[in-house]
Amino acid sequence: MTAVLLIEDDDRIRLSLTMALEDEGYTAYAVATAEEGLAEQRRLRTDTVLVDLMLPGMDGYECIRQLRRDDEVPIIVVSARDDTHDIVAALEAGADDYVVKPIAVKELAARLRALRRRARATTAAAPAISVLTFGDLEVRPEAGEVRVNGNPVSVTRTEFRLLCELAEHAGQVLSRQQLLQRVWGYEIGDERVVDVHVGRLRHKIEKDNSHPEYLVTVRGLGYKLQG
């Protein structure tokens, strides 16, 4: 059974979400602070962590950063804050997705299932193509590696899946919605999630991320990888 850790300081929301997740078939653990959440995740190693941003003591952003240092557990932010700045900051801290309160439990359960499918796909059989080359950029789907000028580049699991999707369709424009479906597994989602991850990748693989050479925007259509 899939285990989920919920870090939420509002007693009512914490209880209702815990009960709803258990009704959906999950084993749910819930705590009220980031500090408790970090300790519980080290102990339990759950399959997914849900994090509120406005927590007492350590806030959600720092909680995400510390969770991400320990492992690659999928992290979904569950917050009432829907400003683009908050979404970008949470994703840049290391979250995989962002859900705005009030929460439709069925939607949240669908996103949890999508994250689990992505995790299984990451550990599935390696693709036949071992190296995809774009100038000085190399993507190695089989080895799980990205290199620039022969030097390894550290990327998250989500960034790697996004880069592989673009690399395997080199020269083709993929819309944000297509990338949400293929990388995140969502039929409907916030396209800002894609934009933030593209921006993070550019910082890591481009000589000048403000004038990208490899991962380019096709205005009004989406993104493509070229080289």
Tokens 């998250």 belong to: 156
Residue 126 confidence (pLDDT): 46
- Using pLDDT thresholds of 50, 70 and 90, give the confidence band for residue 131: confident
Residue 192 confidence (pLDDT): 87
Q: Which CATH class is domain 3-122?
A: alpha beta
The predicted-structure confidence for 4-55, as pLDDT tens digits, reads as follows: 999 999 999 999 999 999 999 999 999 999 999 999 999 999 999 999 999 9
Q: Which CATH class is domain 132-225?
A: mainly alpha
- Using pLDDT thresholds of 50, 70 and 90, give the confidence band for residue 109: confident
Which sequence spans correspond to the domains of the chain? 3-122, 132-225
Phi, psi (degrees; rounded to nearest 5) at 133: -115, 135
CA distances in angstroms from 40 to 3, 134, 165, listed in the order given: 12, 42, 34
126 vs 26, more confident: 26
Of 50, 65, 57, 59, the closest CA to residue 13 belongs to 50
Give the span between the Cα atoms of 227 and 171, in whole angstroms.
8
